[in-house]
Amino acid sequence: GAGVSQSPSNKVTEKGKDVELRCDPISGHTALYWYRQSLGQGLEFLIYFQGNSAPDKSGLPSDRFSAERTGGSVSTLTIQRTQQEDSAVYLCASSRTRPRLAGGGETQYFGPGTRLLVL
Amino acid sequence: AQSVTQLGSHVSVSEGALVLLRCNYSSSVPPYLFWYVQYPNQGLQLLLKYTTGATLVKGINGFEAEFKKSETSFHLTKPSAHMSDAAEYFCAVSDPLIYNQGGKLIFGQGTELSVKP
C-alpha cells in the first residue's frame, strides 16, 4: 500500500515568509509525528497527534511553529516568519495503532521529508 | 531525561567484513529501542526494534541487535557487509512510562556507514 507522503519535496523561501508543509499518513494510522532533521541538531521530535486527543507540542522550538491535523488524517506544519535556522528536512511519520497507555513501541513509518531552505 | 549516544559518526568497513554500530542509552527504566536506516534523500526505514521478550532481535537485510540492560546498550551488527548497506543509521528510544505522550522517538546523532569494495 501507499506509504507516508509529504509535499512539497523541496521548498526554498525567503527569510520572514510563512511556509506550509503537508503530510499524508498511511491510511488508517491514528498516530502522526513531525520531526526535524538538521546538521546541527540531528533528528528532533516536534509534535505528535493521536486521534482526537490534544497534540503533544512539547518539541516545537518556538511559537512560530504550529501544526494541525484535519479529520484525523492529513497534517500541515506551518512555520511563520521563517528564519535561516529553520532550514532543515522536516520528516513526518505515522503509526498504525494508538501507542499503549504506557508509552509507544509501535513502528513509525516515515515519509521522504520536505527539504526547507530559508535564504 | 532520556538520551542516546552513538559511538562513531563515521564507520568504514570492507565488503564482507563484520558491521558493528554502537548505541548506548541513558534512561531510568529500560526503554523501547529502535534502529532506523536512512539512504540518501530518503526517509527513515525501520531495521529492527526491541520492546519486550527475547533480547536478541533480528531485522531486515541481515541485521540484528542485542539489548543488554546491564550495559544499557543496543548495538547493531551484521556478519558480512554489502555495498548496499552504505547509509546512515540511527538508534532511537521511546519511553515506555510516559503516559499520554505516545511513542515519540529520541534519536542518536547517527552513524554513517561506508562499505569499501
The span from the first CA to the last CA of chain B, in angstroms, equals 41
Note the pLDDT of residue B27. 80
- A65-69 and A75-79 beta bridge pairing: antiparallel
Q: What is the mean pLDDT of chain A?
A: 90
Note the pLDDT of residue A1. 58
Q: What is the mean pLDDT of chain B?
A: 91
Note the pLDDT of residue A45. 95
CB distance from A110 to chain B under 8 Å?
yes
Task: Give yes or no for residue B101 having a pLDDT over 60.
Answer: no
Mean pLDDT along residues B66-70: 94
Q: What is the pLDDT of residues A41-57, one digit of tens each?
A: 889 999 999 887 888 89
For an interface test with B, the pick among A26, A35, A45 (most B C-beta atoms closer than 10 Å) comes out as A45
Alpha-carbon gap: A105 to the closest alpha carbon of chain B (Å): 6
**Three-state DSSP class for A92?**
strand
Note the pLDDT of residue B10. 96
Measure the CA–CA gap between B108 and B93, rounded to whole angstroms.
9
Q: What is the pLDDT of residues A20-49, one digit of tens each?
A: 999 999 998 988 999 999 987 889 999 999
Nearest Cβ partner for A103 among B90, B95, B109: B95
Classify the C-alpha dihedral B103-B36-A67-A118 as positive or negative. Answer: positive
% of chain A surpassing 90 pLDDT: 71
Cell matching residue B79: 556478519
Classify the C-alpha dihedral A14-A19-A24-A29 as positive or negative. Answer: positive
Q: What is the DSSP string of chain B?
A: --EEEEE-SEEEEETTS-EEEEEEEE-SS--EEEEEEE-TTS-EEEEEEESSS-SEEE-GGG-EEEEEGGGTEEEEEESS--GGG-EEEEEEEE-TT-TTSTT--EE---EEEEEE-
More confident residue, B62 or B1: B62
Measure the CA–CA gap between A85 and A108, rounded to whole angstroms.
26
B101 close to A48: Cβ distance less than 8 angstroms = yes
B108 close to B5: Cβ distance less than 8 angstroms = yes
Note the pLDDT of residue B91. 97
Mean pLDDT along residues B18-25: 97
Alpha-carbon gap: B91 to the closest alpha carbon of chain A (Å): 11
Q: Which residues partner with A109 through β-bridges?
A: A94
More confident residue, A1 or B11: B11
Q: What is the pLDDT of residues B30-63, one digit of tens each?
A: 789 999 999 988 889 999 999 888 899 999 999 9
Note the pLDDT of residue A99. 53
Measured between beta carbons, which residues in chain A are less than 8 angstroms from residue B94?
A: 103-105
Query: Sorting pLDDT into bands at 50, 70 and 90, what band is A97?
Result: low
Q: Which residues partner with A33 through β-bridges?
A: A48, A93
Contacts of residue A39, defined as CB under 8 A and 6 or more positions apart, other chains included, come to none
